[in-house]
Structure 1
Amino acid sequence: MEGKKDYWLKSGFINIVQNFSGVFFGFAGFYLLVRLLTKHDFGVWTLFISTTTILEAIRSGLLQNALIKYISSSDAKEHPAIITASFAINGIVQVVCIAAILIFSPWLSRLWDAPQLVEMMYWYIAIYLLSGLQAQFNGVEQANLRFNGIFVTTIIRQGVFFTFVLVSYIFSFSVELVFLVWVQIVSALAGMLIAYVHARANLALSAKVSREWMGKLFGYGKYAFGTLISSLLSGTIDQMMLGAMLSPAASGAFNIAVRITNLIDIPGNAVATIVFPQSAKRMESEGPAAIKYLYEKSVGTTLALVVPVVIFLYLFSGIVITLIAGEKYADSIPLLQITLLYCLLIPFGRQFGTILDSIGKTRMTFFVVIGTATLNLCLNYFFIRQWGVVGAAYATLCSNIAGFAVAQVILKREIGVNVLNTFVYMYKFYPEFLDRYLRPMLKARS
């Protein structure tokens, strides 16, 4: 019992640290970069990050969860075969992705009018190899209920990059984009070495690669991979198409609005982390009625946290953009106002995926996500041609509305969800929070 309690405490702590450090270092680094770089260079950096995030997700979706699942649930004597099979799949994925980088980087550079992107992507190959090893080591460590390496590598990788940006800003250094990639190589090397040190005690390998375990790992990861990639594409395709159809600067301006609205998604991420295991457990013991309540309650709670922030940012969007990004990004103000509207739909979509995955409907989640991503791609093409940068925001809003409608039809059919109940729970959240937390806190102080 102590072991289980210890596991949940540690894994919960890691989740909090990784989310907090990601938000802090990511947003703080972004705040400084928009001041260090020109609008064009910041746009190129946005396109570089969007592309490399997809490459990282290809590997992560196929491997990481499957590796953790099978090591943690299999007999110790199977671990060498599982780890070796995972390394083999990782190697295949690395070769394919590196080949894609070498082939398509010049084309992307011409498409986005970003000559420096070719050199950046070629240097990124080193990061991709190092981060692949780190992901393997972290997966093995986590599957064996050890967490220190994950904690340290998370802080080191993000902290080294942020420190470089902060020093450059303080001392007004001229920063070339390729310098940022070199710093990422250093941080990736440090992260990989630290991850290896913490995982090496459990890094037993087998003499040959097991095709059976490769099949199991790939079979488990393929739908998670497809859903993750489709979701990422849905979130980045607008920026990529802006870079191709207009300019990198347009992509950068849109990225400003997206980064601000991403902060609003933090409550949704936290609630989803809690809901996933609860929904799987309740489906087994209590059936669909419990899942229906869990979905409606979790969405209502998330909306209660999100709506006041959305209203505030909408009313003061001009001040927020100026404070965060500076006056040169005034063109991001209308983009922020539109993206804030689809922030209200994100809690519905996130909990839809969480609930369906937890009750074994991963295939259905995959098709809904890929359908929404495809619609987003098509709408972006036509809307950007018609309205320019603001067309990308309208395209994402429309595709989110369509995805919301489809998801609610499925949830109504599968577990009887009534979307109006989510607003009832949202309304009830405020007096409940007041009675259960604020009033007792005020009484204790008085």
Structure 2
Amino acid sequence: MKKLINKHTLSLATNAAMPVIGMVVVSLMAHNLSKAEFGNYIFFLLTFTLADTFRTGFVQTSLIKFYAGVGKRRALNIGGSAWYVGFIITFMFLLVDLLLYIFYSGSNSDVIITIKWFGIIYISTLPSAIALWILQAEERFDKLLILQIINQGVFLVCILSLILLKEISFNTAIYSYFFTNVVTSLITIFNGWSKIRSIKHKSREGMKQLANFGKFSVGTSISSYLLRSSDTFIIKLMFPTEMVAVYYIPQRLMEIFEIPMRAGVSTGMPELSAAVNRGNDAEVAAIMKKYAGMLTVALLPVAIGAFILGGLVIDLLFGAKYHDTEALNIFRIFMCYVMLMPIDRFFGITLDIINKPHLNMIKVFLMLGVNVVGDFIGIAVFHNLYGIAITSIFTFFTGAIFGYWALQKHLKFTITDIFSLGYSQLKQVVVNLSRKNNDIA
């Protein structure tokens, strides 16, 4: 239990560090760049994130699945094969970027800069990306935390320096982004975290395993990205532009719940992979129930508190001008499905880990379809943003129901098991933490 608590603490710190420092950086850039330049930077970031989502979706889950809990020789083989698959994906995007650079006929200098630097930055992030995935598979959350702080910290220092020197611009922000990722990747290589020497242990069979699994998980990742973005695109299409900002506020506040869930996924995924590699289905079900249940029970009082204090939080973080908008009620609608989020997330991850990624992909496709169709129906019925927010409840219900149905064919568990085990595990964690604090006192 002590080891579990330490893993959770480190994982929580790791997953909190990136969004917190990232929020500070974005805030600084928003205040010091013109609207046009900040918009160009966001465009670059969204473009880069989409490409990175493809690479991460293709390699990350499959690497962790086949790497965690295996012998040293097998781990080296999977690590080396992941490097080769990562190279192939990276150079595919480099080729597309090169063709765009050669044949782009527009005169927009910012678009030209984005195309010019995209490929260079994309390849510079490969070592650090693989290091992150390997460290997660090895459950080295201490090193993961260091790596995240280095990456975000260096970028923060660069941006602060540019602001103090009055040299901040879209161009210098891109240069800083490139410099940060080069530094981060070099650190992972020199410290051995990226396992770059494992390349010589790659095999065609290992690459084929990763690719066969990755072709489904990448579909899930891209669909998840579109699921998160579809509301914004539809609002942009159907409502005045300022409504995008109103809806963005409660969406951004959902990071409160995403941080512990990402921490749970980071610690739970390697455990699930190791149990699958041991062929222990009962252990797989127990791990899934434990993490999904603990997160659900832990987030429930947080959701109740957020429902009550949401208005105060919105006023403090975003200003009183949003006080009389739909933002608060939309946030409260979101609280109605918070307890479904951990269950839906771990149903999907477990489907991936038990080698049923196609079912997880179908689950996310189904959620995306329900969300898009439901958004338009909601707008037709309510004629405001509430219709879109309410649709989110049905979207997550759909994902949870399909995930439960799909997993029931392979694992033995019930929804009651999830809540009861989650409550008992969380209670045990709290008791152990209390004893530890008493011993320190």
Which residue of 221, 229, 234 maps to 2:222? 229
Matched residue, 2:124: 133
Matched residue, 2:110: 119
Q: Do the aligned residues in 2 keep the contact of 1:157 with 1:187 (CA within 8 Å)?
A: yes
The residue correspondences of 1:369-408 to structure 2 (distance < 5 A) are 369-384=364-379, 387-408=383-404
* Gapped regions of structure 1 (runs ≥ 5): 1-7, 107-114
Moved more, 412-421 or 360-369: 412-421
For residue 354 of structure 1, what is the amino acid of its counterpart?
I
Matched, 1:317 2:318: no
Which residue of 44, 47, 59 maps to 2:55? 59
1:399 shift after superposition: 1.0
Q: Do the aligned residues in 1 keep the contact of 2:97 with 2:119 (CA within 8 Å)?
A: no
After superposition, give the CA deviation of every residue in 1:243-297 in whole Å (9 maximum; x if it has no partner): 3443554333333322221221222222233333433444576854444443333
Supply the distance in 1 between the matched residues of 2:358 and 2:384 (Cα, whole angstroms): 35
Matched residue, 1:92: 92
Matched residue, 1:361: 356
For residue 418 of structure 2, what is the amino acid of its counterpart?
T
The residue correspondences of 1:407-446 to structure 2 (distance < 5 A) are 407-428=403-424, 431-433=427-429, 435-438=431-434, 440-441=435-436, 443-444=438-439
1:165 shift after superposition: 5.5
Q: Residues 66, 39 of structure 1: CA spacing in aligned structure 2 closer, same or farther, 3 A cutoff? A: same
Supply the distance in 2 between the matched residues of 1:46 and 1:253 (Cα, whole angstroms): 18
* Gapped regions of structure 2 (runs ≥ 5): none
Moved more, 296-305 or 125-134: 125-134
Which residue of 248, 259, 262 maps to 1:255? 248
For residue 256 of structure 1, what is the amino acid of its counterpart?
I
Total equivalences in the alignment: 426
Supply the distance in 1 between the matched residues of 2:405 and 2:81 (Cα, whole angstroms): 43
The residue correspondences of 1:227-376 to structure 2 (distance < 5 A) are 227-246=220-239, 249-282=242-275, 287-330=280-323, 331=325, 332-376=327-371
Supply the distance in 1 between the matched residues of 2:298 and 2:53 (Cα, whole angstroms): 29
Q: Residues 324, 443 of structure 1: CA spacing in aligned structure 2 closer, same or farther, 3 A cutoff? A: same
For residue 410 of structure 1, what is the amino acid of its counterpart?
A
Task: Give the TM-score normalised by the residue count of structure 1.
Answer: 0.74
Supply the distance in 1 between the matched residues of 2:341 and 2:103 (Cα, whole angstroms): 35
Q: Residues 297, 372 of structure 1: CA spacing in aligned structure 2 closer, same or farther, 3 A cutoff? A: same
1:354 shift after superposition: 2.4
CA RMSD of aligned residues (A): 4.7
| SS of residue in 2 equivalent to 1:130 | helix
Q: How many percent identity over aligned positions?
A: 20
Moved more, 419-428 or 357-366: 419-428
Which residue of 2, 19, 25 maps to 1:23? 19
Q: Do the aligned residues in 2 keep the contact of 1:149 with 1:198 (CA within 8 Å)?
A: no
Supply the distance in 1 between the matched residues of 2:185 and 2:265 (Cα, whole angstroms): 29
Supply the distance in 2 between the matched residues of 1:245 and 1:98 (Cα, whole angstroms): 35
Supply the distance in 1 between the matched residues of 2:346 and 2:168 (Cα, whole angstroms): 41
Supply the distance in 1 between the matched residues of 2:294 and 2:333 (Cα, whole angstroms): 23
For residue 93 of structure 1, what is the amino acid of its counterpart?
F
Supply the distance in 2 between the matched residues of 1:399 and 1:100 (Cα, whole angstroms): 37
Moved more, 137-146 or 149-158: 137-146
